[in-house]
Structure formats: C-alpha cells, structure tokens
C-alpha cells in the first residue's frame, strides 16, 4: 500500500523562507543531496511520477524548499541541492541558514533521505549532513544513486565501505543502492519512508493517550 501513498504526491508550494512552509504538524520527510546526485529524479521514481520534482541537465535547479503533500498529514520536502549550483554567495548563505533552521526547528520533520552518487559517495557535504543528523538526533537514510553505473561487485564493495564509514559518522543511519534508470531499490526506499511515517503516527497516538491520562 505504500506505493499508492507516494503516487498521490502533489506539489503544494515552494518556500524561500521557513515561515512560508505549511503548518508544523503531521509528519514530513526531507530529501537532501548534492546538486548532481540525482535527488529530484530519485524523488520522482519513489513517487512514480515523471514530472513531480523538477529535473534538469543543469545542477542546482531546486532553489527553494519544495513541498509535496501525500495526504492531509504527510509531506515530502525537496531541499535545495548543494554543490554545483551557480548562485550568488548571499543566496547560498541563505540556503545554509534556512536548512539549518529547518532541520533544527521543524517538529514535524521525521528524517532525512540523503542522496549520494554511488560512484562518488561520502563527499564533504554528505559527511556534514550525516554528522549533523547525528548531533540533532534525526534519522537518516542514504540512497546510493546511479548504482547501475557500477558492476555488481563494485556496487557491493561501495555499499559495504559506505556503511562502515557511516557507522562512525552517524550511528543508526542506513544506506541502500538505488538506480532511477534501472528502477532498483525503489520498494526498499518506500518501505523505509513508510516505516518513519508509521512510527510518527504511533508516537502521536501514544502522546495523545499520555496527555489524556494526565487529565
């Protein structure tokens, strides 16, 4: 049933400032990654929609926090790509501050899906995001994209090496191989996202029950 939920994804809005985001309730999962790692394409594959998130041959087209609604309480957030976007330094600084404020202060944020190119994993930005998630206690799942470009042996070795280094950077973070072109790893990624949403719903029920008992 999880695939049906993601197929219902619809564009809601693009926010340049945090106050433009939807009300901070329910649950949302954010996608982050370098501008050329295939973030928007991966999001489109997971949602089984070709034109949901904007993709381009020019990296860095996602220049705001783009909100996609799944239903009344669940959302996906496409964060600005980092790395190759040719933008003024002032705008890049704004992105950095906005993402920092979003990740630290957004109560409905349940986890980060970090997109890495499997041929070039764990760049400086990737390590920064992993340690940041560790420091603020935020769950992180890595999609090692473009795995179809690797042989089976190379892919297996990359996955093992990445998992080992991630264990020290962000204990508890998970990683999988993913290919939008070969359509591999999609069900696994959906299952992780659904488990986060389900955990959120269970936590909300327990919190509500606890509040009711306190009365």
Neighbours of 60 (CB within 10 A): 18
pLDDT of residue 84: 45
pLDDT at 54: 72
Q: What is the pLDDT of residue 14?
A: 92
Whole-model pTM? 0.90
Q: How far apart are CA 209 and CA 185, in angstroms?
A: 36
Is the CB of residue 189 less than 8 Å from the CB of residue 173? no
Cα Rg of the chain, angstroms? 17
Is residue 214 in a domain?
A: no
Question: Is 206 a domain residue?
Answer: no
Farthest CA pair distance, the chain = 60
Give the Cα separation of 47 and 70 in Å (integer). Answer: 10
210 domain-assigned: no
Expressed in angstroms, the distance from the first to the final Cα of the chain is 36
60: left (phi over 0), alpha (psi -120 to 50) or beta: left
**Domain assignment present for 122:** yes
Q: State the total domains in the chain.
A: 1
Neighbouring-strand partners of residue 141:
113, 174
Residue 182 lies in a domain: yes
Residue 203 lies in a domain: no
Domain that holds residue 66: 2-194
Look at residue 178 and tell me if it is in a domain: yes
Per-residue pLDDT, 86: 60
CATH code for the domain of 79: 3.40.50.300
pLDDT in tens, the chain (215 residues): 455 899 999 999 999 999 999 999 999 999 999 878 889 899 999 999 988 987 544 444 557 899 999 999 999 999 987 764 566 677 777 778 889 999 999 999 999 999 999 999 999 989 999 999 999 999 999 999 999 999 999 999 999 999 999 999 999 999 999 999 999 999 999 999 999 999 988 877 777 677 776 65
> 199 lies in a domain?
no
């Amino acid at each position: 049933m999880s695939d049906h939920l993601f197929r219902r994804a619809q564009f809601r809005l693009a926010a340049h400032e945090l106050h433009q985001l939807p009300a901070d309730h329910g649950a949302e999962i954010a996608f982050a990654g370098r501008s050329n790692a295939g973030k928007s394409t991966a999001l489109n594959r997971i949602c089984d929609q070709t034109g949901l998130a904007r993709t381009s041959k020019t990296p860095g087209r996602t220049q705001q926090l783009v909100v996609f609604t799944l239903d009344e309480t669940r959302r996906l957030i496409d964060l600005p790509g980092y790395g190759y976007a040719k933008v003024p330094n002032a705008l890049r600084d704004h992105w950095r501050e906005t993402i920092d404020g979003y990740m630290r202060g957004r109560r409905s944020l349940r986890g980060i899906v970090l997109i890495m190119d499997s041929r070039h994993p764990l760049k400086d930005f990737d390590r920064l995001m992993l340690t940041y998630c560790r420091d603020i206690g935020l769950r992180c799942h890595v999609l090692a994209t473009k795995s179809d470009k690797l042989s089976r042996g190379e892919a297996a070795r990359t996955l093992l090496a990445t998992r080992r280094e991630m264990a020290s950077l962000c204990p508890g973070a998970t990683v999988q191989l993913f290919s939008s072109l070969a359509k591999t790893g999609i069900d696994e990624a959906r299952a992780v996202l659904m488990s986060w949403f389900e955990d959120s719903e269970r936590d909300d029920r327990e919190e509500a029950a606890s509040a009711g008992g306190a009365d």
